[in-house]
Structure 1
Amino acid sequence: MVFCGHCQDDCPYVKDPDNGIICCGICGKVLDPNIYDDGPSFVKDSSGQSRLRGSIIKAIEDGCSISRERTEAKGRDEIWQIVHGLHVSGGDDIICTAHNFYKLALDNSFTKGRQTSHVAAACLYIACRRGEKPYLLIDFSDYLHISVYVLGAVFLQLCQVLLLGEHPIVQKLVDPSLFIHRFTERLLGKRNNAVSDTALCIVASMKRDWMQTGRKPSGLCGAALYIAALSHGYDYTKADIAAVVHVCEATLFKRLIEFESTDSGSLTIEDFLAKAYEETVPKCSAKYGEVLCEHKDKGAEHFSHGLCEECYDNFTELSGGLEGGADPPAFQQAEKHRQDAAKRSKETAVVEETLCELNSSDVEDNIMTPWKVEVSEHT
């Protein structure tokens, strides 16, 4: 079974006997363009000597060499150290999942030329995304004391090698609510359900106002945590929040300004919480239409807005639903720019029209004045 981006599911695969490529057994999409052959072939190198072409992929029944076992054990130790260093929950399950990804990376020779800790961190991050753990890629880079861009490049290359580029593990949006409890504990040094619940309500309000669209979850979590901490009497600066959620103060300030421009931003914390606990996302009734979601080829019934009921519930949970809320901040900014441009063009047109009228009146005065003088001389 392999994941097919077109079918959006784990599907049986078919190996093309003529070309040696791997295709989806349902829709026929080419999943792996690499050509596999049962027999060896040889090519000549620059020195004229013959060498084996490609690489040999060993079967499971062939067993593992001592070097392979040592490499796998080293990768598992790296994963174990990162898990315990970052206090990742899940125990042996998350370690085994990450180690399985690491063994797949070994099968594709992905560890050659790369540090074991980098590959182990990338595998563990994929496992955390799969298990919806509240960890960002920058958390792993901070633990390893490397640049997040270096680790991000390893992660993207690993996803490409493992054919995970179109998998929901990578493509699915990250819910900012997952990180609230962890960021709260890092900021306060202890668990505080009151601050976390207030921050979750603020994040839910941001979702309804489309603030999560096109933005990283850390910025939204930072703004929500800053407001929640101040509302409960904690005196933390923006720099303290930025250090916890790994964003700069300018980004945090922008998220606060965007939240201030919403309807919820003008309320007191008491009114906001009272309104938040009263509001519930309305459950719409099923409507007739065409299914356009990932389950369109599986006989799913249409529920609303081109989605089946499962996809609609997932969308509502992540975005806060379509009911209520304000326009997206980017749309508000663009609309403001359009209104300002229209206002400036209108003012410019009025000024030009006034100047034209003044010029016309001056010309008329210049024409009429000599005629009046001539008439007075004749009289």
Structure 2
Amino acid sequence: MTCLHLNINYDRYKNVCADCGQIIAENDIINELNFGETGGGAFVHGAFVDIDQDNATAKQSSRNATIFKFQNNLIRIAENMQLSDSVVDKAKKYYATALNLRLTQSRRKTLVAATLLAIAARELNLPYLLIDFADSLKINPADLSTSYIKFTEELKIELPIQQPSAFVPRFVNQLVELMQQGEYDIDTEQFKQNLKDTNDMQKAELLTRTKKLVSIMMSLNVHQARKPQLVVGIALYLACLSMNFIIGIEQISEIIFMSPITLQNRLKFILQHDYFKNYSIQQIFDATDIESTYEDVSSKIVQKREERYTALEQNDKSFTRFENQQIYQLEISENSQQLDDYLCAKTLVEQRQTLYDLLYKDNIDYYIEKRKIQKGTKQRRVYNTAQEGIQNIAEIPKDSRDMLLELLADDNHQQNKEKDQVIHESENEESVRDIMLL
């Protein structure tokens, strides 16, 4: 039955007749094709909606779909490495920016995901290294490092300095677990006894001592230009020795992913500091106020530095330094004409000249300029005729000079002959003109 009334109420989702109450139309969706035209051709209005689609929205763009797939990859890697959601969110934002800059082209998705997660973890000062991501995802560390540098430069990311204190709990827990599991092949009885006696209290004490040593190294500025895991490894090794844990540098180097030789060299360098020369490791932890120990040493170092600078300033009063050059301030009277007394001696000039010749013996420009200076500037010689110039040039051989003079003489004779002929012709023309006028 079709409603013929005209009183229709148009609701949001259906049209109802106000007289009979019949629903005339429901879910008012246009199901016919509408075409439009532009300069590029015709197109169809609307969007295609799948019948089994959960959210009946417009077609998702390709870019959003790519970001969504990459986010799932980030979540999977973050779960394996126990990373928080904040790291994933930062990495997702960086990926959206990298898509606009086309940095993801010709790069594996796994490598890009590891790079962005490493950058995000570094910004949040989390105890993760590049080698952790490389080992977890089976990636070449060199490729990951190259990609890491490329993304930070192109995305203009200023990464903060990684604090060594963030790695202390990680390396301490890892060392204690390996000690309890008996991973290290050490036959000493004392180490085996320490293995059995390692408990939560000793673990907490080891953690506390390592943190104190790291803070002391940072206060003494011996951590600068050093990798954070290297500083923590040295502090952990010294803390183990102070607690009678007999452990080798090789075992510490395995935990911090550093070479034993590098760790040993840096340990020697730090132990040569005045602070560690004045105080032993046991004295440092036995002191009631640890801060006062390195503050005293720091004040002594500053005092020595100031004394050295003061002595240098007193010695430098006779001259002023400017760009590694010594400009002497000499008192020369206005009427003094003996300037040679204030210049370099002749022997010193010869020595410097010999030194310059040895330094720049392979530079041809140096010898050209030196030759110009030695020759000096000569006055230009001016001659009235070419014959006079040829006769006065001593560099021309005699045979060549005579031949040139003969050629010039013949040329001059020919020119004079032509000149006389022209004069004679002009005189004849004038005489003919005079006769015609008569």
Give TM-score scaled by structure 1 length. 0.52
CA drift of 1:122 comes to 1.4
Within the alignment, does 1:246 sit opposite 2:241 as a pair? no
Paired with 2:293 and 2:89, the residues of 1 have a C-alpha distance of 38
Within the alignment, does 1:208 sit opposite 2:201 as a pair? no
Q: Is the 8 A contact 1:210 1:326 kept in 2?
A: no
Q: Which residue of 2 aligns with 1:303?
A: none
Residue segments in structure 2 that go unaligned for 5+ positions in a row:
1-57, 179-199, 306-438
Give TM-score scaled by structure 2 length. 0.46
SS at match of 1:111: coil
Paired with 1:64 and 1:187, the residues of 2 have a C-alpha distance of 53
CA deviations over 1:184-230 (Å, ceiling 9, x no partner): 11221298332122111111222233321211112111111111123
Paired with 2:297 and 2:98, the residues of 1 have a C-alpha distance of 41
Q: Is the 8 A contact 1:176 1:221 kept in 2?
A: yes
CA drift of 1:323 comes to 4.2
Within the alignment, does 1:97 sit opposite 2:90 as a pair? yes
Which of these residues, 162, 167, 170, is aligned with residue 179 of structure 1?
A: 167
Q: Which residue of 2 aligns with 1:149?
A: 142
RMSD, aligned α-carbons: 3.2
Q: Which residue of 2 aligns with 1:72?
A: 67
Change (3 A) 1:64 1:75: farther
Paired with 1:128 and 1:326, the residues of 2 have a C-alpha distance of 37
Letter in structure 2 aligned against 1:250: I
Q: Which residue of 2 aligns with 1:262?
A: 273
Which of these residues, 114, 128, 131, is aligned with residue 124 of structure 2?
A: 131
Q: Is the 8 A contact 2:242 2:282 kept in 1?
A: no
Letter in structure 2 aligned against 1:222: G
- Report 1:76-91 matches (<5 A): 76-88=71-83, 91=84
Q: Which residue of 2 aligns with 1:122?
A: 115
Q: Which residue of 1 aligns with 2:237?
A: 226
Q: Which has the larger radius of gyration?
A: 2
**Percent sequence identity over aligned pairs:** 26
CA drift of 1:129 comes to 1.9
Residue segments in structure 1 that go unaligned for 5+ positions in a row:
1-62, 283-319, 332-379
Q: Is the 8 A contact 1:208 1:324 kept in 2?
A: no
Which of these residues, 152, 163, 166, is aligned with residue 156 of structure 2?
A: 163
Q: Which residue of 2 aligns with 1:278?
A: 290
Paired with 2:70 and 2:297, the residues of 1 have a C-alpha distance of 45
CA drift of 1:86 comes to 2.3
Paired with 1:281 and 1:99, the residues of 2 have a C-alpha distance of 47
Paired with 1:276 and 1:213, the residues of 2 have a C-alpha distance of 27
Q: Choose 121-130 or 79-88, whichever is displaced more.
A: 79-88
Paired with 2:176 and 2:301, the residues of 1 have a C-alpha distance of 32
Change (3 A) 1:322 1:175: farther
CA drift of 1:116 comes to 0.9
Paired with 2:139 and 2:218, the residues of 1 have a C-alpha distance of 32
Change (3 A) 1:130 1:325: farther
CA drift of 1:264 comes to 4.0
Q: Which residue of 2 aligns with 1:350?
A: none
Paired with 1:71 and 1:272, the residues of 2 have a C-alpha distance of 56
Q: Which residue of 2 aligns with 1:357?
A: none
4+ long deviations beyond 6 Å: none
Change (3 A) 1:150 1:64: farther
CA drift of 1:280 comes to 5.8
Letter in structure 1 aligned against 2:114: A
Q: Which residue of 2 aligns with 1:286?
A: none
Letter in structure 1 aligned against 2:67: E
Letter in structure 2 aligned against 1:104: T
Q: Is the 8 A contact 1:201 1:276 kept in 2?
A: no
CA drift of 1:250 comes to 0.9
Paired with 1:256 and 1:200, the residues of 2 have a C-alpha distance of 17
Paired with 1:223 and 1:326, the residues of 2 have a C-alpha distance of 23
